[in-house]
Amino acid sequence: MSCTDPTLQLPDHLLSSIFCYLNFRDLVHVRLVSKRWHRNTPSYCAFNFDESLFFENTRLVGPLPTQEAHNKFSDSILDSLETSKSRLIKAEKRIVHVKFDYICTSTCLTVFHLTRCALNEQIFNGEGKFDSLQEVKLDGVRLSGEALAKFISKCPNIRELSLVNCEREWGCYGKPMFIVLPKLDSLKKLYVKHTSGNNSISKVEVIAPSLQVFHFLCSDVCKDAVYMDIRACRMLREFHLNCVRFLYWS
C-alpha cells in the first residue's frame, strides 16, 4: 500500500480540479510527473498576480496603477511568455488567461480572454500583429478611443469574438459606444452582450463576409436605439437579436 501512488484513487476530473490551483510554472512540472498527470494537466492556465501590488491608494480618485509596478508586471508576463513559448507550442491548446491591462505579444497564442481591465488604443500603435489569435473575448473591458478597432485589425485570423459588457474609457460616462469593426475575413462567430455598464451601444458595423453566427443581446442599459449595419455578412445563418430599441436594419 505504501508504495503505490495515492492519487490513483482520485478520479481524473478531481486531479484536473487540483491542478487548476497551480500556476503556469507548476503546471509545467506537473505535466512531466507521469502520463496520467500529463493527460490531466489543464491546457488552460491562469497567470496569478497580486493586483494590490500594482495599486497605490489615492483617496481622491481611487486606486491607480503605479508605473513601476506596471512595468514589473509587464516584464513578468513577457518573461513567462518567453520562457513558456516552446512549451505552449507543444501544448494541445494554447490559452493564456490574463487578468490585467496588458496585451502580450506572442506568436503562439490562439485564445485570448481579457477580463475587467482597460485597453488603451496607444498600445496598438506599433507594428506588431497578433497573427495567431483565433478567439478573443473581452469581458468588462474599458476601451479607449479606437482601441477595439485597432486591436481587432491586428488579428487578421480571428474566428470568434465576444464582447461582454465593454465600456468606454473613464470620463465617457453615459456617452454612447460604437462597435465598428474593420473588415474581418475569417470571423465566423460574433457575440455582443451588453447588460451592464455606463455606456449604451448606439452603432454596430460589421464587415465579415464569412460570419455565420451573430448574437446581439442588449438589455435596458441601452437607452439609445442601435443602428446596425451588417450588410456585408452574407453568410450569416444564425442571428439572435435581443434588444430594446432597434433603429435600422438593412
Partner 1 sequence: MASSTTGEKKILTLKGGDNEEFILEESLVLQSELLKNMVKEERVSSIPLPSIKSKTLVKIIEYLKKHAELTPSNKEEFKNFEKEFVNVVLEELLDITVAVNYLKINGLLEFCCQAVADRIKDKSVEAVRKIFRIESDFTPEEESEFRKETPEAFEGDLDDTTN
Binding to partner 1 in span 123-182, by CB under 8 A: none
Compute the least distance from the CB of residue 93 to partner 1, in Å: 19
Give dist(CA 192, CA 165) in Å, integer. Answer: 8
Angle (CA) 171-177-178 rounded to 5° is 140
Grid look-up 470620463 returns 171
Of 10 and 117, the one with the shorter C-beta distance to partner 1 is 10
By CB under 8 A, residue 108 contacts partner 1: no
Q: Residues 87, 117, 226, 184: is their CA dihedral positive or negative?
A: negative
By CB under 8 A, residue 43 contacts partner 1: no
By CB under 8 A, residue 34 contacts partner 1: yes
By CB under 8 A, residue 92 contacts partner 1: no
By CB under 8 A, residue 9 contacts partner 1: yes
Q: What are the start-end ranges of the E strands in the chain?
A: 44-46, 55-56, 64-65, 95-98, 111-119, 135-143, 160-164, 167-168, 177-180, 189-194, 201-205, 213-218, 226-229, 238-243, 246-249
Compute the least distance from the CB of residue 92 to partner 1, in Å: 16
Report the residue from 12, 17, 63, 234 that binds partner 1 according to the rule CB under 8 A: 17
Compute the least distance from the CB of residue 63 to partner 1, in Å: 25
Element (H, E) at 92: none
Compute the least distance from the CB of residue 53 to partner 1, in Å: 19
By CB under 8 A, residue 30 contacts partner 1: yes
Tell me the number of residues near partner 1 by CB under 8 A. 29
By CB under 8 A, residue 20 contacts partner 1: yes
Compute the least distance from the CB of residue 6 to partner 1, in Å: 5
Compute the least distance from the CB of residue 115 to partner 1, in Å: 20
By CB under 8 A, residue 6 contacts partner 1: yes
Give dist(CA 14, CA 150) in Å, integer. Answer: 41
Of 16 and 74, the one with the shorter C-beta distance to partner 1 is 16
Pick the stretch among 33-41, 72-80, 115-123, 172-180 that binds partner 1 (CB under 8 A).
33-41
By CB under 8 A, residue 19 contacts partner 1: yes
Q: Which of 215, 206, 211, 217 is nearest to 250 (CA)?
A: 206
Q: Are strands 135-143 and 226-229 parallel, antiparallel or unpaired?
A: unpaired
Q: Residue 97: beta bridge partners?
A: 46, 113
How far apart, in Å, are the Cα atoms of 137 and each of 41, 57, 127, 130, 195? Answer: 23, 30, 22, 14, 16
By CB under 8 A, residue 23 contacts partner 1: yes
Give dist(CA 78, CA 242) in Å, integer. Answer: 40
Interaction site with partner 1 (CB under 8 A): 2-7, 9-11, 14, 17-23, 26, 28-30, 32-37, 86-87
